[in-house]
Amino acid sequence: MRYRASALGSDGVRVTMESALTARDRVGVQDFVLLENFTSEAAFIENLRRRFRENLIYTYIGPVLVSVNPYRDLQIYSRQHMERYRGVSFYEVPPHLFAVADTVYRALRTERRDQAVMISGESGAGKTEATKRLLQFYAETCPAPELGGAVRDRLLQSNPVLEAFGNAKTLRNDNSSRFGKYMDVQFDFKGAPVGGHILSYLLEKSRVVHQNHGERNFHIFYQLLEGGEEELLRRLGLERNPQSYLYLVKGQCAKVSSINDKSDWKVVRKALTVIDFTEDEVEDLLSIVASVLHLGNIHFAADEDSNAQVTTENQLKYLTRLLSVEGSTLREALTHRKIIAKGEELLSPLNLEQAAYARDALAKAVYSRTFTWLVEKINRSLASKDAESPSWRSTTVLGLLDIYGFEVFQHNSFEQFCINYCNEKLQQLFIELTLKSEQEEYEAEGIAWEPVQYFNNKIICDLVEEKFKGIISILDEECLRPGEATDLTFLEKLEDTVKHHPHLLTHKLADQRTRKSLGRGEFRLLHYAGEVTYSVTGFLDKNNDLLFRNLKETMCSSESPIMSQCFDRSELSDKKRPETVATQFKMSLLQLVEILKSKEPAYVRCIKPNDAKQPGRFDEVLIRHQVKYLGLMENLRVRRAGFAYRRKYEVFLQRYKSLCPETWPTWAGRPQDGVAVLVRHLGYKPEEYKMGRTKIFIRFPKTLFATEDALEV
Ligand code: ATP
Ligand code: MG
């Protein structure tokens, strides 16, 4: 493949900087659309491999950027690199994240349409790194807002804070985001960033109380213990050694070689100041962090009636102070359950197991609500300060979506169910925005063509989210029958309600052959990206996410400024049953889809090259899976099946009219007729192009390249 072939953008803009590309840049094809054997997955992966070997981690599928995590610093994100990609057309320079960044920004500026960059991929594939590089690009290259550049710092500094509280070391990634994130950056009419807004999704709060072997709790705990000043730790009643805290020892890996908690602590402390935290607020926040550690060390012993009693007085004392609650109330709440029956309050003592459950539930609630509070607090700091100024009214928005990819583990539970549902929704959106709109454009332009077959995953989204009949509805129904329903009755109800569905299998619903591979407490979903078997154990509990009433009451009485915002008395009203976790998640996803739909989409598809987190290793099996999960082959097929390039007649004529004596220097008739004359003169064959209502469609890139070449002569 000659390089010239990829020197044109799908917008047909000419290459002017060919010299900017070295021989190394040209390894393989820079756009999969140009692969001779475009239906072959092997050819696709071979192209990725060849480029990866040369540290060329970026390749396009038309406008979609595919990125392979290099696991090494390639020195390709400097200010110089940013400059190289500014204002040039997509294909003038080697594929790069900054090319996407710049294209998106220019579309935002010139078309004044909101944009959204959707970054997907599995854990460790490089989504968060990409998001950070994009933000950095905008912070460094966009003009400064009229009212100073503080908002740029805040946009950048919100990151280390969110990462400290929402990221953790997992087996897959030393800095794994344990929440989904959508961030809007608002630009004024001059293209300066003036504000931002963050939405967060489903923090993995179970991590607060339990970590698998080789994994850690959220970074902030270790940062505080490692970096916190003596005096601060003394006030919080903390010891420096993470081994002292039961919530930090489960994974047995407090120290991670790639992480420097001490220096990260400094970064976070500074960032908190930038995002408008006062010293008092920092102290309040850290008090909550410390209280979670103390909670984890609360021990119970059984009295003669097998009722749990708190035995760790010192921890209780610190907790009382840090959470600003009454000691006796907290003690009682940790060891009793309040039940309201026939208008009367009854206190029922908890046994050891129940008390431990209540304690952990409180720790999870305190931490996750603090995280939500933190996001809101950051949002207040990012809110455009010049809301009154006229420029506010003409803001445009650029969204960055960094959200968990499809997950298939040995053991899949409620969390994977939610995450994979989220991926189904995003795939559905991708289909709507890309595949469908592509076909619709041909229809609107009156162009005859063979529709490309693609799998529409709406059927799976419906299976999960449909009212009454969907999995979430059935699960919620079972959650309404406390005491009677169990995870297994949920499964039975699911079987009875859904019966036969091409995308759902259970032990009962499967045929002889498949049945063997399914346990009795499992269901299998045939996702667009592959099959996943979920164990129903814990589904009800996780979906209900109950916090005993008296723990809630205790927290509502807290005088801690943060806790009093996190726990609201209205929750105590019997009339208001809180939405279940799955339903809340579903609603937030529907909202996200609406937000994304209203924007022009751009896609970055991230791939993780190996499980060892090492540079230079290209694990083909692993990569093949991801190519499948990310739907890349289908994406390419649709892209190739249609017309690679399309341009409005006016624009096409304007650009190429010099190539034909009849259209040069001006064409008096309709642009469409001018283009017809022009392409006839250029010798386009009938199968190479089609004339639509407003645009010319060119099937193969090479046709346009030849025309471009003619321009240069
Ligand atoms: P998760 O879903 O677990 O949050 P992720 O997709 O956000 O995963 P990142 O945290 O962005 O993954 O990347 C994991 C690690 O890979 C980074 O900490 C970094 O070491 C490395 N990495 C990712 N992208 C790049 C890159 N472009 N250049 C160099 N190293 C990278
Ligand atoms: Mg991440």
Alpha-carbon radius of gyration of the chain: 28
Within the chain, what is the greatest distance between any pair of CA atoms?
Answer: 103
Measured from the CA of 132, which atom of ligand 1 is nearest?
A: 11
Atom of ligand 1 nearest to the CA of 170: 3
Residue among 315, 372, 362 nearest 337 (CA): 362
So what's the pLDDT on residue 671?
96
Q: What is the pLDDT of residues 192-221, one digit of tens each?
A: 999 999 999 999 999 999 999 999 999 999
Q: What is the pLDDT of residue 387?
A: 54
For residue 607, give the H/E element and its range.
strand 600-607
Residue ranges in the chain whose pLDDT is less than 50: 1-20
Q: What is the pLDDT of residue 393?
A: 57
70 ligand 1 Cβ < 6 A: yes
Contact 349, 336 (CB under 8 A): yes
* Ligand positioned closest to the Cα atom of 124: 1
Q: What is the DSSP letter of 484?
A: T
In ligand 1, which atom is closest to the CA atom of 167?
A: 4
Residue with tokens 């989904």: 180
Q: What region does 446 belong to: left with phi over 0, alpha with psi -120 to 50, or beta?
A: left
Cα dist. 283→159, 490, 600 in Å? 20, 44, 42
Identify which of 25, 516, 299 has the alpha carbon closest to the alpha carbon of residue 7. 25
User: What protein residues have CB closer than 5 angstroms to ion ligand 2?
Assistant: 127-128, 177
Question: Which of 51, 52, 57, 69 has most ligand 1 atoms within 8 Å of CB, for mutation?
Answer: 69
Tell me the C-alpha distance between 683 and 664, whole Å.
Answer: 17
ipTM: 1.00
Residue 495: per-residue pLDDT: 95
pLDDT value at residue 13: 38
Give the tens place of pLDDT for each residue, 368-377: 999 999 999 9
Return the pLDDT at 390. 52
pLDDT for the residue numbered 644: 72
Compute the distance between CA of residue 140 and CA of residue 138 in angstroms, rounded to an integer: 5
Ligand 1: does its nearest atom lie under 6 Å from the Cβ of 381? no
The residue contributing the CA closest to ligand 1 atom 9 is 126
CA of 358: how far to CAs of 320, 368, 678, in Å? 16, 15, 77
Residue with tokens 């009795």: 520
In whole angstroms, what is the distance from residue 136 CA to residue 494 CA?
Answer: 47
Count of other CB atoms within 10 angstroms of residue 190: 14
**In sequence order, which ranges of 480-580 are alpha helices (DSSP H)?**
487-498, 512-515, 539-544, 549-556, 561-566
The answer to whether the CB of 125 is under 6 A from ligand 1 is yes
